[in-house]
Amino acid sequence: EKGLLKVEPRNPIRKGMSLELLTLEDTITFTVENVFTDKYKPIDVIHGGLHYCYIPYAQNPGEFALLREKLI
């Protein structure tokens, strides 16, 4: 409803990073424009661990979607 993906990062995620969203139907590449804490405060980078962050994304990817860094 807010246009945000709730992410549990296992590795660092930073603004400007190119990610791939893997869904059951498709693989979508996008650039991280912003990263927000669990309290919706903007940050530049979040490190992997036992916490959540939010990344702007317009569509609901559905269950079992995964994010991975887009490598060349």
| Residue 49: pLDDT over 90 | no
Structural contact between residues 15 and 33, judged by C-beta atoms closer than 8 angstroms? yes
pLDDT band at 1 (very low <50, low <70, confident <90, very high): low
Give the residue from 20, 15, 47, 48 showing the smallest Cα distance to 32. 15
pLDDT in tens, 20-40: 999 988 999 999 999 999 999
| Residue 72: pLDDT over 90 | no
Give the residue from 57, 44, 41 showing the smallest Cα distance to 7. 57
Where helices occur in the chain by DSSP H, the ranges are none
